[in-house]
Structure 1
């Protein structure tokens, strides 16, 4: 029988966490929570950002990593060295995916390469560096199970990432591999929309989702911390949606 003293701890003291896509949105939320839990945190992205431009990054180490470039991914992890937990949240920019019947497949190929194969590459080159009790956590989205018109590349990539995590949970055991499937989350990824549209989306979510509020990056970060620290969870997709799957989705 498990006693209270044997319960898993949410502490990451003495651990090193790498968050790919950790400078914005959900990734930044996860990086902040990992840092608060005691970890050394490396935020990896396509460019190094000066602390003058982003003083909020002062507590993190930075790594240069372009998920579309396998050689760059390999070099980035070689430079990072041994660590404990990998979190991959990065994805191609909004609107970069192509349509199913586009004149060519360049947009689709770019998105799939950036999201699915990019996640694969990060996992591939991180795996030999993870210490005992190490984890990988990927990020998908609700469209993995609730497709929307015009988002075939996104839906397919999300579903592929979820399948990848289940496969790697077996192939890389005892390294634990999971995916978080977030619902609507208020982050800067929506900044391409007018402010009134964003406000309307949040109001619609608060009125219709059972949680009665819009998601925040910290909600997803809390789930990531759980997956990093619970030693008996692997090969799962964790819905953090505020109950979005129970109602008609927005959009």
Structure 2
């Protein structure tokens, strides 16, 4: 067989294009969610960002190119109403999570913190998938976001580890439950966003330095790194039920 005939039989090169697609990013106004929203738009998608509050153009001129819808992941009726407003679409990314430090400690006087965190992260992800699924077009996908603590627990983060692990288990279950819709999870490592603004500047700078010195990638992660993985999961039709770790090799080194 000639090289010319062989080339004709080969499939087209994979593309990260989302031209003609509609993407919804829950938690898409800040951090990793905003990075994914921008990347999806750059890839040709019409993007809707969903969050607890709709921002005006004056408040957030950087959101001018996105549609916005109000959605509180803790309120199932609000989640249902938001997706009814959005209507048919192609890809859902759920990045929303409760605020840093809201989960409490394992031996707190009550379980308010852990219940609140699980409701916001795990049950919020569940509600988004549940009410988005009927609106997803053929060939569509759902992508959740967790974090390295799902596989590498850290002292004081029991609720976070548990919620992340539950979301990853949900992802695999829904890959079967909702097939042929595809369901996957991205597990980021250290990504330098405002999520870490609760730390003193010197502590945050020290964390960046340690990551850059010890992680095999020799740098901190950015929202663009996670966005690239999200584009891959939205555009590859043969990936489902998978957890993709985008962590610069964090799993190969001692805990930061």
Task: Give the TM bin, normalised by the shorter chain.
Answer: over 0.9
Deviations 1:151-186 (A, max 9, x none): 111000000000000000011001000000000000
Q: Would you say 1:9 and 2:15 are equivalent positions?
A: yes
Q: Secondary structure of the equivalent of 1:132?
A: strand
Find the aligned partners of 1:153 and 1:191 in 2 and give their Cα distance.
20
Find the aligned partners of 2:74 and 2:14 in 1 and give their Cα distance.
36
Larger Rg belongs to: 2
Structure 1: where are the runs of 5+ without partners?
none
Residues 131-170 of structure 1 mapped to structure 2, 5 A cutoff: 131-170=137-176
Q: Secondary structure of the equivalent of 2:37?
A: helix
1:76 to 67, 75, 82: 82
What is aligned with 1:244? 250
Q: Would you say 1:235 and 2:233 are equivalent positions?
A: no
> What is the Cα deviation at residue 5 of structure 1?
4.6
> What is the Cα deviation at residue 4 of structure 1?
5.6
Structure 2: where are the runs of 5+ without partners?
1-5
Find the aligned partners of 2:10 and 2:21 in 1 and give their Cα distance.
23
What is aligned with 1:98? 104
Q: How many residues align?
A: 250
Find the aligned partners of 2:12 and 2:124 in 1 and give their Cα distance.
37
Deviations 1:128-164 (A, max 9, x none): 0000110000001000011111111100000000000
What is aligned with 1:30? 36
1:199 to 196, 202, 205: 205
Q: Secondary structure of the equivalent of 1:186?
A: coil
> What is the Cα deviation at residue 8 of structure 1?
2.9
* Runs of 4+ residues deviating >4 angstroms: 1-5
Q: TM-score, normalised by structure 2?
A: 0.96
Q: Would you say 1:65 and 2:56 are equivalent positions?
A: no
Q: Would you say 1:181 and 2:187 are equivalent positions?
A: yes
Q: TM-score, normalised by structure 1?
A: 0.97
Is the Cα contact below 8 Å between 1:8 and 1:231 reproduced in 2? no
2:118 to 109, 112, 117: 112
